[in-house]
Amino acid sequence: MSNPIIQTTFNIGYDQFHVSKCGNDGPTIFFVHGAGFCADTWTILMNMLIKQLKVQCYAIDLRGHGRSKCSDEKDMSLDVISDDVLNVIKQVRAKKLILVGHSLGGAIVSKLASQLDNVIGLIIIDIVEGHALKVLSSMQSTIDNTPKHFNSLDSAINWMVKSGRVRNIDSAKLSTKNLFIEVNGKFLWRTNLSMTSDYWKGWFTGLANNFLNSKSAKLLILSEIDRLDKAFTIAQMQGKFELKMIQNCGHAIQEDQPDKVYETIKHFLIRNKFIKA
C-alpha cells in the first residue's frame, strides 16, 4: 500500500513545525511524540487508523526534533513546547479533537487538554508522573551509554532494535531516519537530550493533576503495571480513566505493538461514541 501520509509545515512566527497528516473526515487525532523521538514514531499506527476508521490524523515534530526548524531550539521548557503544539493545533481548526501523547508528549497533551474547548478525548502512552520523576536520575547515564553517531542509517536502525529502544524492526525502519542528521558521512542525533536536562523535572511535574482533572474521556496505555504511582492508582480505582496494559513491548509501545495500540484506540473511540462501530 502506498503511504497516504502527507508531509507539511506549519509556520508559527519565524518557526517552522513539520507535521505529518492523513485522513480527511471524522474527528481529529493529534499525536505528540516523546523526547528524542519524532512524528515518524506514529507512522504505522496512523496508517492503520485511517485505513480502518473515519478519522483525521496529525503528528507534529516538536521543537528541536525531526524536521521542525526553530530559531531557538535550546528552550525546551514545558511551557514553550506546549505553546508550540497549541499554536499548531489552533491552525488545524479541528471540530472534535482527541489528543494522544507518548512520554513527554503525554505531559504536553495533558497540559493542553484544559486549554482547548474542543478536546473530547485524551490518551497518554507509557507515562505516569511518579515513575517518570523517579527514573530521571538514570537518564544521563542512559544518554552517556548511547552511541554519539553511526556510520550508516542501517547501523542506526540495527542499534535501535538491538538496544530495545524500538523492538519492532518494521517500525524502526520507518521511524529512525529523521532522528538523525548526516554530517560528513556520519549520522548524528538530531536532538541533544543532554542539553535539555534542566527541563526534565519540569516536563513531568504536574502531569497527574493535568491528566486526572481533564473533563474529557481519558485513556492511559502502559507497558508495565508497576509504573502506576499513588495518584494514578487511586484515580484508576475510582474509575476516572481507562487503563490498558500492553505486554511484550518497551517504552515505545506505539512502535513495538502498533496493532494492539490501534485496537485499544479504536475501542476507546467507539466506546465513547466518537466514531460509529
Question: pLDDT tens-digit profile of 182-215?
Answer: 999 999 999 999 999 999 999 999 999 999 999 9
Share of the chain above pLDDT 90, in %: 97
Q: How far apart, in whole angstroms, are the C-alpha atoms of residue 93 and residue 110?
A: 19
CATH class of 6-137+196-271: alpha beta
Indicate whether 1 pLDDT > 90.
no
* Domain locations along the chain: 6-137+196-271
Is the pLDDT at 226 greater than 90? The verdict is: no
Angle at 11 (CA atoms; ends 6, 17), nearest 5 degrees: 55
More confident residue, 2 or 194: 194
Residue 4's pLDDT band, with cuts at 50, 70 and 90, is: confident
| Residue 277, pLDDT score | 81
Confidence of residue 3 (pLDDT cuts 50, 70, 90): low
Q: Whole-number mean pLDDT of the chain?
A: 97
Instruction: Measure CA 233 to chain center.
Output: 22
Residue with cell 507497558: 223
Q: Is the pTM of this model over 0.95?
A: yes
**Residues marked as catalytic:** 103, 126, 251
Residue 2: pLDDT band with limits 50, 70, 90: very low
- In tens, the pLDDT along 48-68 reads 999 999 999 999 999 999 999
Task: With a cut of 90, say whether residue 21 has pLDDT above it.
Answer: yes
Helical ranges in 185-257 per DSSP H: 200-204, 207-212, 230-237, 253-256
